[in-house]
A = this chain, B = another copy of it.
Amino acid sequence: MVRRTKAEAQETRERIIDAAERVFHDKGVSRTSLNDIAKEAGVTRGAIYWHFKNKHDVFAAMFERQRLPMESMANRAEDPNETDPLGKFREAMIYVLCQTVLDPGRRRVFEIMFHKCEFTAETDPLMERQREAFLDGSERTRRTFRNAIARGQLPASLDIERAVVQLHVQMTGLLYVWLLLPEAFDLQAEAANFVDCYINSLTHCPSIAGP
């Protein structure tokens, strides 16, 4: 065997990432060796070292594969020409929550991120990644809220910073808790309720909505 065509090689790369996703999820990132991933993917460590630098590189590639589809969706609500920014925002939030329930791949990656990997000191590039993603997401949300205010969908007195933080807290908390104890509540069925409860607070909670 060996020496596949370029397309086959790309398939091998994907298979390795798929395998890593499953093994990371089952054993935790630190406890999985490259050999574990190789066996699950049906290759040897040599193949992994060909496509990736090391385990961290596999890990990063796994997240990159999930990041791209997320990006596109976030872009919708923050378009200044969108006539219903709050509606699109609502849809996006509900979509993320339901997608986490329905798409096993996304669910696994979120679960790995929340419960099966360790973030270490500032030296760790992953920490920096998280930080950037947070700041970037915050900026998107800020733009969306400004659009919604301009269209009269949110009060002009809205405390945008508190609203942004609260959004992250809400979404992070929801995913964290549900992924830890899926039987605690029905995320898919309750998703719209949770989101509406949050949006409701943007106009009715005094400390966020303003006077």
Give the oligomeric copy count: 2
| Chain A interface bracket (under 10, 10 to 19, 20 to 34, 35 or more) | 35 or more
Which B residues lie within 8 Å of A120 (CB)? 26-28, 31, 116
Which B residues lie within 8 Å of A115 (CB)? 118-119
- How far apart are the CA atoms of A143 and B82 in the complex, in Å? 46
- How far apart are the CA atoms of A131 and B177 in the complex, in Å? 10
- How far apart are the CA atoms of A125 and B75 in the complex, in Å? 42
Task: Tell me if B184 and A174 are in contact (CB < 8 A).
Answer: no
Instruction: Given A118-B118, A165-B177, A172-B172, output 18 extra A-B contacts at Cβ < 8 Å.
Output: A27-B120, A28-B118, A115-B118, A115-B119, A117-B118, A134-B177, A134-B180, A134-B184, A162-B193, A166-B194, A168-B184, A169-B176, A169-B194, A170-B170, A172-B173, A196-B207, A197-B208, A201-B201
